[in-house]
Amino acid sequence: MANAARSAAPKKQNDFQRRMARCYDEMKWLYCELYHGDEAAFAYFTGMLERSWAQRKTALRRQDKRREENPNWYRRQDLLGMMLYTDAFAGTLQGVEEKLPYIRDCGVNYLHLMPLLQSPKGRSDGGYAVSDFRTVEPRLGTMEDLEHLADACRKRGISLCLDFVMNHTSEDHEWARKARAGEPGYRERYFFYDSWDIPREFEKTVPQVFPTTAPGSFTWLEDCHQVVMTNFYPYQWDLNYANPVVFNDMTENLLYLTNRGVDVIRLDAVPYIWKELGTSCRNLPQVHTLVRLMRMACEVVCPGVLLLGEVVMEPAKVAPYFGTPEKPECHMLYNVTTMATTWHTLATGDVSLLRHQMDAVCALPRDFLFLNYLRCHDDIGWGLDYPWLKDRFGMEEVAHKKFLNDWFTGKWPGSDSRGELYNDDPRLGDARLCGTTASLCGVEAADYEGDRDKLERSVACDLMLHAWMLSQSGIPILYSGDEIGQLNDYSYHQDPEKADDSRYIHRGAFRWDLAELRTDGATRQGMQFLPLRKMEKIRAEEPCFSAEAEVSTEDSGSCHVLAVCRRLENRELICLFNFSGEFVQASVDRQGTYRDLMYGVCRDGLETVPLYPHSFAWLLREEP
């Protein structure tokens, strides 16, 4: 009888079954609603998830369990990110692994490797035209090298982030080649048309992504006499996610990368992935269904993995990609509008728009986690709140964009900034901006002129901007080279494959010779690296920088100074940032003793706080 009772006891569920049971009903409902009740496709999807889980190695499963037990592991205030190109930084993936001690010396524990999967030479868009989602670009290494690097990062407490280009494939991808040849089942993975009739209808409502360098959203294929959708570049073919085979196979590709040890998947160009005639093909409701399904797929197979959404739009369109507490989508999103507004503020010296922007961010739920940055691999687009600027200051969008671009390319009187334009469109009076943080702050001009006073002021500007980035809630991300103030690299002009893309001005080879000088405070590199490391350590240790802190802006008494208050229990931190090139006095309505976290100086009250040009202050009050 005892044996019979034991045999009748319910079988213990494994981790996959337990996790699947938790979200199965919602997953099936969303999938079948999106794909018109296609239960065969759904059965394949769930079978693929179980197969992917079975292939996940022991070390990753252990990490999954630890992170399940501590679901807020990625909200720690000591997280510091860095993004880099493998070839520019260290040549190969093995080279990056050899340089991990340097990365840790920078305080970095979140490493974002820019696209490194196989892409055709000369038609890669910087690696965003993937021809094989399971093969590393041979010149960078192998998939085994990537997995070995991920293992090495995990042992050092570094989370590894990788881009997942989900909107399109390269025209060289196996699916695209078979589609071009007319093989059954493959043209349905893309958007193929026999004539321009439907494409022209799409183009009536779909904005162009690159109106100058790649106008239009479709490309004629002469060899097969077909038109194919190409929203980005002609060699990047948009995938048709209305086909469940596409979603199933792309999700499996995503999970293949997580099973190599990738901790964070950056969902590239996610707002574009669902297309519908008569719409802008941006941010459609089906996009959120797909992201929610991907989130659940990861929670079932690899719950230790995070989804980072690349949504380069204003806050109102960004926030929905977090989902809801009951039905979350992305774990993290980029704070792109604040980044663009920061550079506007540096050029104008007026913090009004930045304060307005921060008030909007501070009003969002505290659970929303943003990645904050000054520079990234891409250009700076002037996606500012122009209706607010026009209403408040009478600013016209086209004229203001021209001013910003003139300022940051050094054409405006008094500007020492050195940048270059990207995708300049004289018809629309629009262009975007490229350049390293240091060069945009004037370090390059000061270095070239050999002007020590100007150099100190420009370095102070660079450090003030980094202090501002570190003061925001979320995860701060450095762009590789910014920690040593790397300057623009103009050599791309002599490279035929890069010359037409000015973004390569800030994608130059990492200067290891200059990095060796970083601990010498007498050098420019030391002038930037050492104070930055001090700021990063303060941020990691001071409780007011916790994600739990209450954050608000304050009246600083000056249009040049942004004042941000961070409160946690009995501690209050007032952060002041002088965005002007003049000596100013800030005035914040505060009494009590405040200690400067950078310099240790104490002051009674904040009625009069002197600030040097482009300087900052972190002022802490501790109540007994």
Q: Which sequence positions are flagged as catalytic?
A: 268, 310
Q: Hey, what are 389's tokens? A: 């600027």
- Give the integer Cα–Cα distance in Å for 21 and 78: 35
What three-state secondary structure class fits 199? Answer: helix
Can you point out the beta strands (E) in 480-615? 550-554, 561-568, 571-578, 584-586, 593-596, 602-604, 609-611
Q: Are 503 and 378 a contacting pair, CB within 8 Å?
A: yes
* Crossing angle (nearest 10°) for helices 143-155 and 58-69: 40
Q: Hey, what are 63's tokens? A: 């990490």
Q: Hey, what are 378's tokens? A: 């891409």
Q: Hey, what are 567's tokens? A: 């409160």
SS (H, E, C) 401-468: HHHHHHHHCCCCCCCCCCCEEEEEECCCCEEEEECCHHHHCCHHHHHHHCCHHHHHHHHHHHHHHHHH
Q: Which residues contact 216 (CB under 8 A, 6 or more apart)?
A: 203, 208, 230
Q: Hey, what are 609's tokens? A: 């706080």
Q: Are 113 and 97 a contacting pair, CB within 8 Å?
A: no
Q: Are 349 and 560 a contacting pair, CB within 8 Å?
A: yes
For 605: left if phi > 0, alpha if psi spans -120 to 50, otherwise beta; the answer is left
- Give the integer Cα–Cα distance in Å for 604 and 586: 14
Q: Hey, what are 182's tokens? A: 């007319």
Of the candidates 612, 541, 609, the one whose C-alpha atom is nearest the C-alpha of residue 571 is 541
Q: Are 526 and 519 a contacting pair, CB within 8 Å?
A: yes
Q: What is the DSSP-derived secondary structure letter of residue 13?
A: P
Q: Hey, what are 388's tokens? A: 């607010």
Q: How far is CA 81 from CA 371, 405, 459, 477, in A?
A: 9, 28, 21, 4
Q: Hey, what are 196's tokens? A: 């321009």
